[in-house]
Structures are given as structure tokens and as C-alpha cells.
Amino acid sequence: MKTVSNFYTEKLADGGAILAPMAGFTDAPFRMLCREYGSSWAVTEMVSAKGMVLGDLKGIEIGEPYPDEPNLVIQVFGGEPELVAAGSAKLYELYKPKAIDLNMGCPVKKITGKSCGSKLMQDPERAAEIVATLNASVPVPVSAKMRLGFDQLNVLEVAQAVEAAGASMIAVHGRTAVQKYTGEANWEAIAEVAQALTIPVAGSGDVGSKAQFELYKSWGLGVMIARASIGQPWVFAELLGKETLSLEEKIKTAYRHALLHLNWYGAQNLERERHLMRQFRGQLLKYFAFLPESKSELIKIESLAALQNFILEYFALDFSGFTSNELRRDYSLI
């Protein structure tokens, strides 16, 4: 049996919340902000293990670490044990993450249709084989993020199989795949999994308040934050009891996020900047959700200058001189 660091145990002992992986959101700029505000670690968006093996490295773009990124956990998806292991080994070789996480929770049809993501909840033996093979391929801990089941609750059976296969931690979203994000997350079911396993268990689903965070921690669970962090990466600081940011600080964070986004994805010219700002609109709508009347203007923003004008108009804050050289991406790796 390989010897691995107790990364997950050590980080969970710190008591902070964890940024959960989210498709389209947990890229380098967002992970950087969440880490600055106190996220214990951050999990990348899922990366195709098969794509890594076939040399299609475009898929790593959102998972690629920024320079000196601390406590990086890369999430992979795949349905074939050898491909998942080989792709993960390549990711480790490139980026030296602290851990590799297997996606067993994505409910999106284009993933489940390939027998990946939450579809693995219907095949505990194959899930365990993937984890065992992956575990043997990298010198770091392996974890799995799953749901309560696919169309029925069977998380305990799957979690026990994955633990026996060598997983160092399990994260559970408190809904089945068919529920997607409807209804309420079932944290009691997550707690039952934690009581039955010897490895750490983290829960995910609907956490946005300090009271919820403290309650679930008192149950012995790690706590992952997903949708509650979009448009408010400072939620990690608030959950730790730190002072709430002022409105000006929040708006400055939104603007800085836009700058980081442009830097990371390379706004070399105005046409590229327009493309990237359109791409960033989903984040802007979340940052300024408290101002619903501004939506029609936000969806028209296509440049940094337009964002500056929007902030000046609504909040009398002038960010025209605020620039940043942070987060320049190393394109030589892909």
C-alpha cells in the first residue's frame, strides 16, 4: 500500500469551509479569490481523464492551477479505470496537486450518458475499481465526490465500496442525481455516511449561513460551499466569523475578479476582451444580484471600460485607474 500524506485530515482540522467544484465557475481566478477569503482548499472543475490521455489538453484550461496555487485538488471524470488512472497520472506529472478527486456526482446528461459522473452511483463495483486503479497511479490521496444516489438513495453502499478501494475522503452532495438542485439537501443522510466510515466525510448542498456551517461541523462533517460562493467569494470569511465586507469592498472584489479573468484568459485585443467579458457576465449577474434593476445593463457589458462606467453610475466609485498584473497564465503547459 502506498504511503500518502494526510492532506484531507489536516485541512479538515483547520475548520474552514471548502470550495466545491462547479462546472463553469471554479477556474483559477475564482479559486484564487475564494482561497484569499479563507477556503480551506479548492477543487477544480472536472477535467476529462480521457482527454488528458488522448492529448486533448484544452479541457484542462479551467482546472489549470495558477502559479504557486496552494492546496490544489484536481477533479477528474471518467468511466474506465485505466483511462482515469492514466489521465490522473498525467495531471499529477504536470501540476503536482495535493490530491485527485473523482467526480461521481455530476447529473448532466452529456456526462452520465458516457457512464461517468453520477452514473457511477448505479455501479458501486466499477466505481470502486476506478478508485483503486486511480489510487495506485498517483502518489497523493484520492477522494470521490458523489450524490445520495442516482435515482434512489444508495450512497452508503457506494461510499463503503469506495472507502474499501482506498479513498482518503468522500464528499457527498445531499441530493440524488435525478433531483439535480431541486428540493432541500439531506444532511442527515450525509451524517449517516460519516458515522459508517472511518475516513473523513464532507457534505455539500444549500449551505450559506454561519449557523448551518457550525451545525454541520458539530456533526463531524467537513463543509463544502458551492452556489453560495458564486458572486460572493467572501462567504468563506463570513463563515469563519470575520467582519462582513463593506459594499465598496464587495464591488472592488467583483471588479478585481473581472481583471483576473481577463488576465488569465488573455485579453490581447479588444475583440478578445469583448468575448471574455461576455463570458464573465454570469459572474457579474451574481455579484450584482442585489440590484435586480441593473440586469438589463449588466448583460450588455462587453468591456472593462463599460464595467467601470456601470460601477461609477450606480455606486459613484471610480475604478478606471485600478489595474492588475496578477494571474498571468503559462500557456506553454498546454
Q: Give the type of residue at 295.
A: K
Q: Which domain holds residue 152?
A: 7-239
Whole-number Å distance between alpha carbons of 80 and 89: 14
Residues 267 and 231 reside in one and the same domain:
no
Comparing 113 with 191, the larger pLDDT belongs to: 191
How many domains does one find in the chain?
A: 2
Distance in angstroms (rounded) separating the CA atoms of residues 176 and 209: 23
- 203 sits in which H/E element: strand 201-204
- pLDDT score of 67: 87
Do 65 and 136 belong to one domain? yes
Same domain (yes/no): 167, 270 = no
Residue 197: DSSP 8-state: -
Check whether residue 187 and residue 263 sit in a common domain.
no
In tens, the pLDDT along 35-56 reads 999 999 999 999 999 999 988 7
Tell me how far apart the alpha carbons of residues 20 and 280 are, in angstroms, rounded to a whole number: 19
Domain's final residue, options 205, 239, 273: 239
- Which has the closest alpha carbon to 117: 143, 155, 153, 79? 79
Question: CA 198, CA 151: separation in Å to the nearest integer?
Answer: 26
Instruction: Write out the three cell numbers for 238.
Output: 463570513
Catalytic residue among 53, 84, 104, 106: 106
Nearest CA-CA partner of 168 in 19, 5, 20, 44: 5
How many of the other CB atoms lie within 10 Å of CB of 278? 14
Is 106 a known active-site residue? yes
In a domain, 44, yes or no: yes
Residue 203 and residue 273 share a domain: no
Please give the pLDDT value at position 4.
56
The last residue of a domain, from among 239, 262, 283? 239
Alpha carbon distance 312, 90 (integer Å): 46
Contact 159, 199 (CB under 8 A): no
Q: Is residue 321 part of a domain?
A: yes
Measured distance CA(50)–CA(84) in Å, rounded: 7
Looking up residue 211, the CATH number of its domain turns out to be 3.20.20.70
Question: Residues 216, 253: one domain?
Answer: no
Same structural domain for residues 80 and 140?
A: yes
Q: What count of other Cβ atoms lies within 10 Å of the Cβ of residue 114?
A: 15
The reply to whether 1 falls in a domain is no
178: cell is 435525478
* Residue 54 within any structural domain of the chain: yes
Statement to judge: residues 215 and 266 lie in one domain:
no
Q: Is residue 81 part of a domain?
A: yes
Do residues 155 and 73 both lie within one domain? yes
- The mean predicted confidence, pLDDT, of the chain is 92
- Position 330 scores a pLDDT of 64
Task: State pLDDT tens for residues 179-216.
Answer: 989 889 999 999 999 999 999 999 999 998 999 999 99
Is 184 in the same domain as 294? no
Q: Which of 239, 268, 299 is the last residue of a domain?
A: 239
pLDDT band at residue 147 using 50, 70 and 90 as cut-offs? very high
- Assigned domain for 47 exists: yes
Residues 193, 322, single domain; the answer is no
Provide the whole-model pTM.
0.92
Residue 304: C-alpha distances to residues 27, 93, 146, 232, 267 (Å):
20, 36, 38, 20, 10
Length of the chain: 334
Do residues 154 and 301 both lie within one domain?
no
pLDDT tens digits for range 245-287:
999 999 999 999 999 999 999 888 999 999 999 999 999 999 9
Residue 2 lies in a domain: no
Cα of 205 vs its chain's centroid, Å = 13
